[in-house]
Amino acid sequence: MTHKIATFFIILFFLISCKTPERDCENFKTGEFSFEELIEGTLVTTRFTRNDTLEIAYFNGKIDSSSVRWINDCEFIVKKINPKSMSEEKAVHMKILYTEGEFYTFEYSLVGKTKKQRGTAQKLN
């Protein structure tokens, strides 16, 4: 009897732990968003508005525009329209990993690079 109960709980544990995270990327293709990150020990916020082909970011009192090219429903390439340095000329590959309510978690890297970073953005409208 205890063997059956133990087996039941083991199966239940695996079913719960194997839950696939939600990935409703379509809801996050366009809109106004906010992203917070820690830069040199200071929490900074970037707000951005995105449509199918354009992203306008507001950061530290500056406005920056980037082109957006969607690869699929959950991945896109962002490239600054008027880069001011060689490093700003590099495109960034963005991939939405999962979504939850008004938030999405993503990973990003320079195109062609293997080092990836993660972040979470909130949809504001």
Residue 10 domain flag: no
Residue 84 domain flag: yes
Residue 58 domain flag: yes
Residue 70 domain flag: yes
Rounded Cα distance between 26 and 22, Å, is 12
Residue 104 domain flag: yes
Residue 50 domain flag: yes
Q: What is the pLDDT of residues 28-87, one digit of tens each?
A: 999 999 998 888 888 889 999 999 999 999 988 899 999 999 999 999 999 999 998 888
Strands (E), the chain: 31-39, 42-50, 54-59, 62-72, 75-80, 92-100, 103-110, 117-123
Print the domain residue range for 93: 21-123
CATH code assigned at 92: 2.40.128
Residue 14 domain flag: no
Residue 69 domain flag: yes
